[in-house]
Amino acid sequence: AMNASYPMTGRQLKEAVIPGTMTLCQEIGRAIKRANREKTDPIRAVLDITGGFRLFKGKVIDVRRATVKGFARGEAVIEGVGPDAGQTCRVQFQNEHLVAMTEQGVLASAPDLITLLDAESGEPITTEGLRYGFRVEVLGIPCDKRWRTPKGLELVGPQYFGYDFPYVPVEVRNREA
């Protein structure tokens, strides 16, 4: 956690938070550290804990950022390597990663979590830290079911951010993966 905002009562807190989020973050960090120490795949360790999906692997070949209405908006362009060679993935963000897509279509979108990890170490790469030349794996992690409700999608679904496509859960979009 980088900051604390929005003071509230205990009752409000119970209604507003997703229980276990901080514990999950700690488990992910420990799994990455353990995998690196034991020389196993840190990406696989993250996927095992989160139930997520490998969406794309490649090298960042472009990052564009602009401040729009107080938000860091932009796009990272990733050139595929290995099984993704010959393809390009675009990850669009507004402070957080919102959409990952290739020429074939959308791989994942908010409110599911799209995260970029260093392809070797498994360390997370934030939108602010993303740079040309980074070797990354793009993961899609299913969000909490509350974000998938009509009210949740109204707050953080693709249409809220101006995208003209419906939300489809990452596990549905990546069934064949």
- Tell me how far CA of residue 161 lies from CA of 73, 137, 157, in angstroms: 11, 24, 7
Tell me the pLDDT of the chain (177 aa) as tens digits: 566 777 889 898 888 888 899 899 999 999 999 999 999 999 999 999 999 999 999 999 999 999 888 888 999 999 999 999 999 999 999 989 999 999 999 999 999 999 999 999 999 999 999 999 999 999 999 999 999 999 999 999 999 999 999 999 999 998 754
Cis peptide before 42 (omega within 30 of 0): no
pLDDT reported for residue 138: 98
- Tell me how far CA of residue 79 lies from CA of 57, 85, 120, in angstroms: 8, 7, 16
Instruction: Tell me whether residue 117 is exposed, middle or buried, using C-beta atoms within 10 angstroms of its C-beta: 0 to 12, 13 to 18, 19 or more.
Output: buried
Indicate the pTM of the whole model. Answer: 0.91
